Structure 1
């Protein structure tokens, strides 16, 4: 942190509160925190500005791990399979194949970008983005992002669920 921004975490917390972000004045919005970081260090790139803003929110109890600025949580699960990407993609994209390995009643596929990603929605409103990356002739990585989760418990449950489903997919693919 210090090497990239010139300040350590404790200094950033103090500087931001000296800039007017005292919690006693209410809950500052994420955009206000980012703006304060930019005022304090205009040359800081967007990635570090975001990192400092999120770090401030976490340090002050305004945001939990895996929570976005709207209060929603996200779970990401990834696995590399000993199978070609086209086979993993087909196992997800084809309804009949998907029903053979995925225990997901109520899941609605909303968009398919052949060979790249699949978007889907759970009945509770949580959204999925499933991405496929070729890792060679007989290897691929599948990443599932589950967004719009309500809390940390839902996030932990989603991660555990996808790990169990990845085991089922590996068995289905013979990987």
Structure 2
């Protein structure tokens, strides 16, 4: 999901879910989905349930969403994934932050007045020499780049893998951190605060 068309970083309520009955979807994700697709969330729920989505795995649910989107929508494949995840949270098939594999993911980002390579270098200068994060040892740290993005990636013993990516945003850059592979969701907000504090230090 690193090619997201855009996402909100508004915090959920204390339970990590919206306050609407059994709806476990992050409340801030719904308006974005409705605006992008022109379809009310209740209509998405009806569509999924009519096609047996509560009994399906993520790829099949995403396929239902993609079939209901037009190619005129920017990044329709990404939106299909996002809508499927939101429905899975709504239906209790996963909780916010949980991936389709059952592990958990956390992310944070900041816009900086650098180019993409300078942003990664700023991260490496400030934090690249760290040997641990929240007590988990850093392993296999390395830089890489593609035509569109620059990266700094590393593993954390017992806490999954981390990708720091720099993507141009006009004359600035979005520096995003995503951590995948957490065994449970109990420390998601602790990790989010940690990554945000490191981004704020740049």
TM-score range, shorter chain: 0.5 to 0.7
Larger Rg: 1
The normalised TM-score by structure 1 is: 0.67
Q: For 2:101 and 2:196, how far apart are their aligned partners in 1?
A: 26
Gaps of 5+ in 1: 171-175
Shift of residue 56, structure 1, vs aligned partner: 1.7
CA shift at 1:122, angstroms? 0.8
User: Are 1:151 and 2:184 matched, yes or no?
Assistant: yes
The 3 A distance-change label for structure 1 pair 135 and 103 is farther
1:33–1:53 Cα contact (<8 Å) kept:
yes
Cα shift readout 1:30-87 (whole Å, capped 9, x = no counterpart): 1221233355x37463234323322221211112222221122211123456886375
Alpha-carbon distance in structure 1 between the residues aligned to 2:94 and 2:137 = 30
Determine the C-alpha separation between the residues in 1 that align with 2:113 and 2:70: 45
Aligned to 2:52: 20
Provide the residue aligned with 2:157 in structure 1: 123
Name whichever structure is richer in helix by fraction. Answer: 1
User: Secondary structure at the residue paired with 1:124?
Assistant: coil
Which residue of 1 is the match for residue 125 of structure 2?
A: 91
Structure 1 vs Structure 2 CA RMSD: 3.6
What is the TM-score of this pair, normalised by structure 2?
0.59
Q: Write out aligned runs for 1:1-175 (5 A).
A: 1=33, 4-5=36-37, 7-21=39-53, 23=54, 27-38=55-66, 41=68, 43=70, 45-79=76-110, 85=119, 88-91=122-125, 98-99=129-130, 104=133, 106-113=137-144, 116-132=150-166, 142-166=175-199, 169-170=201-202
Aligned 8 A contact 1:103 1:165 in 2: no
Structure 2 vs 1, CA of residues 62 and 132 (structure 1 numbering), >3 Å: closer, same or farther?
same
Count residues with an aligned counterpart: 158
Partner of 2:137, secondary structure, is: coil
Change over 3 Å in CA distance of 1:19–1:124 after alignment to 2: same
Deviation track 1:120-161 (CA, whole Å, cap 9, x = no partner) reads: 111115101123467899x87643211111222222121122
